[in-house]
Amino acid sequence: MGKRGGFPAGSMPGNMSNMLKQAQRMQKQMEEKQKELEEQEFSASAGGGAVEITVKGSKTLTAVKIDPDAVDPEDVETLQDLVMAAANEALGKAQEANDQLMGSISSGLSLPF
């Protein structure tokens, strides 16, 4: 009976072993950078600074600042829109930083696929 191709039990070709080590390093790097990013703060304002929102990279809201002049009991909708715009912009900044982080880590990976 003929011998089937493959690798001896317990061994892996050098290239595959290097790729596995590289993937493990990348995973550790990603975890460390992700923790750093989760603590980083991102702020954005709307209405010329009338409303400022701060979020963490973990996408949790940490601060809301509203200029008292922006509070008009007759026009609550505008204030709501300003809060929403600032929050969405701050969250967008956090997401952009996350995307850049993931891109920088994966760009160093040389996988054959």
Token digits for 53?
């929102």
For the chain, the domains span 41-113
Query: Could you give the percent of the chain with pLDDT greater than 70?
Result: 81
Fold of 41-113: Ybab; Chain: A; (3.30.1310)
Ranges assigned E (strand) in the chain: 41-46, 51-56, 61-66
Considering the entire predicted model, what is its pTM? 0.70
What average pLDDT does this structure show over 95-100? 91
Residues 57-83: pLDDT tens digits? 999 999 999 999 999 999 999 999 999
Higher-pLDDT residue of 14 and 91 is 91
Give the CB-side neighbour count of residue 22, counting CA atoms within 13 A: 14
